[in-house]
Amino acid sequence: MKSTLRDSAAHVFVDSVDAPVLGDVDSHHLLRVLRVKSRDAVTISDGFGKWRSCVVDGDANVEVTSDVVIEKSPKWQLTVAFSVVKGDRPEWTVQKLTEIGIDEIIILAPTVRSVVRWDAGRANKNIKRLRVVAREAAMQSRRVWLPKVSDVTTLAEVSDTFIADPNGVPVDASHRTVAIGPEGGFTAEEVSAGKGVVSLGETILRAETAAISAAVLMSSYRNKGS
């Protein structure tokens, strides 16, 4: 059945797979951007593991063509928390973390060495945008479980966190939440507040690269069932 997801002309999230209705934005995206043709096969999902095959007509009306499939949630949850960096890199990071399969993405509140600092209004606006990015990336990558993009959270509030640090141990299956610092890294005090430290390799990584590296390593262990 996974091939049905991969081969569909598009994948869209809806409120209910039992009575699917496409919103205006998704309808426009399917018909005007992706150029999905009438009667093309698409898949829909509620973002909580349920999905099914459908076809759409020229007015974006949905006709279901298969039973509902229920995918179990991943065997364990993976979380990446990262500090905000300059420019559009947070959007790129969220997009890639979603494609890799991370379950929760946490935007960290400014730490001691943070360069970028969002005020409350900007934070709310940016988090909303990042949730849109995650949703779009989940549709593109054919996920049926939407990742959670949490509100801005302090490092101390993230539970069972392993801090990415060059002096850490290699990532293994026991590491399921990794925090990535800002451009200047975390202070020694911030590092000591974590559950431990993990290394992402011998080279110095940009913050967004570190987030992706952590995600790939954790996802690899989960996929192996280690």
pLDDT tens digit sequence for 38-82: 888 999 999 999 999 999 988 888 999 999 999 999 989 999 999
Let me know: does 12 contact 30? Beta carbons within 8 Å. Answer: yes
Is residue 226 over pLDDT 70? no
pTM, 2 dp = 0.93
Query: What are the tens digits of pLDDT across the range 104-133?
Result: 999 999 999 998 888 889 999 999 999 999
Superfamily of domain 2-70: Hypothetical PUA domain-like; domain 1 (2.40.240.20)
Q: What is the pLDDT of residue 95?
A: 98
Q: Where are the chain's structural domains?
A: 2-70, 79-224
Let me know: does 23 contact 60? Beta carbons within 8 Å. Answer: no
Let me know: does 64 contact 20? Beta carbons within 8 Å. Answer: yes
- How far, in Å, CA of 98 to CA of 80, rounded? 10
Query: What are the tens digits of pLDDT across the range 188-202?
Result: 999 998 999 999 998
Residue range 79-224, CATH number: 3.40.1280.10
- How far, in Å, CA of 165 to CA of 200, rounded? 7
- Residue 3's pLDDT band, with cuts at 50, 70 and 90, is confident
Q: What is the pLDDT of residue 1?
A: 54
147 exposure class (CB count in 10 Å sphere: 0-12, 13-18, 19+): buried
- How far, in Å, CA of 32 to CA of 89, rounded? 27
Q: What percent of the chain has pLDDT over 90?
A: 75
**DSSP characters over 168-190:** EEEP-TT--EEEE--TT---HHH
